[in-house]
Chains A and B, each alone.
Chain A
Amino acid sequence: MKLGTLEQPIFAQKLARAGIAVRFGPLQIRLRTAIKPLAGLLHHFWRDFPLVDEPAIIDCHLAVSQHSLHRRWPNPELHILVDGRAIGPPFPRAHHFPMLEWGVNFCLARRANHLLILHAAVIERHGLALLLPAIPGHGKSTLCAALIHSGWRLLSDEFGLVRPEDGLLLPVPRSLPLKNASIDVIRAFAPQADLGPSFEGTHKGTVAHVRPPSESVQRMDEPARPRWVVFPRWVANSRLRLEPVVKPDAFLMVATNAFNYNLLGQTAFELVGQMVDACECYTLVYSDLKEAMAALNELTDSARA
């Protein structure tokens, strides 16, 4: 049953009392919170995700709650609890949604050490996946948001989850946080994108979220084989350059991009090696989203044959 089939007041009530168990790809969480405006946003942003039939094994028990008494007034603060313990410092109440989304990602990054976790956006076309490894400020999320509203399927904006058994990428299609100028760029570029409210003054500036497209969420149990690795970089006024990367360089760039490369040791070494061997690897420098998309579409059209 999808979360959105619960009526909003019932959802908010359950969330405040017993909590709601929901699944994002491989990650099952249970969340409890009585913060009303947060419940409203979650009901919308998480509406396509399935509720978990309980009793079940939950990967992460989360709560968003008021900070201790002396922090409630005059500027109320919240914190995120995982298994009853606060993660990170308290934050202003107004930042509930972006901080919770970060908290869920934190759980995945900390607890999915049975998988190789790359810090990358992953999208799919013609049944094959393209990885956009992240370097903060290089425009991965913006490019990803543009592509998933132009015929690509979203696997993830944040995590390339590689399954060691077969090297396939597992989807975890969570909402995309756009930062600062990117928000208006995407609003203009893809008016059909479902953009949430802007949260100002977070530690990453102003953030607004794109709801993952329903079709991507419906297909979140279909893994994809990696075929392309493209290291994107937005540079103002630059002309478009899509250039191949030699495999040894690509290996290092992917390995150093992983959250848990050291932790997985030999397994990670082999997985990254296989992935880079099997993929075409490029760097992409761009200033114009349309040009960048055209180049990626052309690059990946060859796979249709």
Chain B
Amino acid sequence: MPDRFCQKRHAARLLIGALRQPADLPHLSPADWDLLLRLARHTQLLGRLEADLAQLALLDRIPERAGNHLRAARNLVAHRQTRLTWEADRVVWALRGLDLHIVALKGVAYMLAGLPAARGRLAVDVDLLVPQEQIAAVEQRLLERGWMGAQLDPYDDQYYREWMHEIPALRHRERETEVDIHHRILPRTSRLQPDPALLFQQTRAVPDSPIRVLGPQDMILHALVHLFHEGDPKEGLRLRDLVDVADLLRHFGQEPGFWETLVPRAEQLQLGRPLHYGLVFSRQLLGTEIPDAVLQQAQSSAPSWLVQRAMGWLVPRAILPTHPDQSDPIAALARWALYLRAHWLRMPPGLLFQHLARKAWRRVQAALQPQGSGSSDKPSGS
């Protein structure tokens, strides 16, 4: 038993060590490389390791077979980033002539703004934020110019539009990249309600594009919302989201005035709690340097002592990778618990119950009809 416990911890130590000290990677044993590659692939951080080693000019000093995997990951990342940039460019083209305030979120934003967080980052969708009142015009225009909406049945479609923070994904009929149009950063059902109007007030321009990006503090807060309020029960919290947060903190931490405004801004957006967790775990797990004064300031949004202890136990277990060949019931439990927590925060139980009951009833109806539409089997946005 002690041996197995060490092995589990070893997996976490290995990946965290690679992220924090990529300069040490040339000293890794073949067995550790084997495990590290599996963990990094699983957490979608292979491209990140490649970018770090390339920056340190160390790619020639690692085993050739490991280098092949990293080069393969780099090629995939470069391809995805090209595709994303092109999709964003096409959206700009399609929306030309509309008087709009378009803000890129997450991967596309990091790329457009040329941030270090974009390096080696595997992004899939184009995420955009537009003011609520312009959503209809944007969607209409994209539909006219070749994008298509996901085929949801009327109930799911209405549910999505009424309660979510985005409209059903759009995809151009000739391309594979999804475009997600958001009007806020958390669902309308969520307990926390950061006011989108505040976000638009502090956006920044980027070179060579009419698209804007969130202000530094808001960008970090959005990454934190993504980390602590989304996720799935199997994967747990996403380590790559915490890596984004750490990268952004490190980068913007150099800007004068950044740290002073971080906590007040979070409180203004009702996001003091996720910021508190983000700072604590970014420092604890990834060694991000955060001024003590800022940590103290953020402490005012911390939960009770008991909840802090619980989160301090759950988060590392849910976010750190475990050995792929061994089941880890503790980690699985932590992942479930944090998934339930995120869901709880996103949706009041009454509404959740209503929604599930409605879905169940529709499934019964469909089953009773000899030639039912069958559409109720499609995934909903919940």
Which residues of A are at the interface with B, using a C-beta cutoff of 8 A?
A: 26, 28, 54-59, 61, 83-84, 111-114, 260, 262-265, 267
Contact = CB atoms under 8 A, between A and B. Distances in A.
Interface in B28-42: 29-31, 33-34, 37-38, 41-42
A107 to B, nearest CB: 12
A214 B325 CA distance: 33
B75 A263 contact: yes
22 contacts: A26-B68, A55-B29, A55-B34, A57-B33, A57-B37, A57-B63, A57-B66, A59-B65, A84-B324, A84-B325, A111-B69, A112-B68, A113-B71, A114-B72, A114-B75, A263-B75, A263-B76, A264-B75, A264-B79, A265-B75, A265-B78, A265-B82
Given A57-B30, A57-B65, A114-B69, 7 more contacts: A28-B65, A55-B34, A56-B31, A113-B73, A113-B75, A113-B76, A267-B75
Interface residues of B, number: 24
A59 B70 CA distance: 12
Contacts of B72: 111-114
Contacts of A54: 31
A267 B66 CA distance: 20
B162 to A, nearest CB: 35
Contacts of A113: 71-73, 75-76
A181 to B, nearest CB: 36
Most chain B CB within 10 A, of A55, A260, A267, is at A55
Query: Nearest 10 pairs between A and B by C-beta?
Result: A55-B31, A113-B72, A114-B71, A114-B72, A57-B65, A263-B79, A114-B68, A57-B34, A113-B75, A55-B30
B30 A83 contact: no
Contacts of B82: 265
A14 B325 CA distance: 16
Given A55-B34, A56-B30, A83-B41, A262 B75 contact: no
Contacts of B42: 83
A53 to B, nearest CB: 10
Nearest to B176: A262
A84 to B, nearest CB: 5
Contacts of B73: 113
B30 A262 contact: no
Interface in B45-93: 63, 65-66, 68-69, 71-73, 75-76, 78-79, 82
Contacts of B69: 59, 111, 114
Interface in B143-198: none
Nearest to B71: A114
A113 to B, nearest CB: 4
A265 B42 CA distance: 25
Contacts of B63: 57
Interface string B357-368: 000000000000
A140 B63 CA distance: 36
Contacts of A114: 68-69, 71-72, 75
A294 B58 CA distance: 51
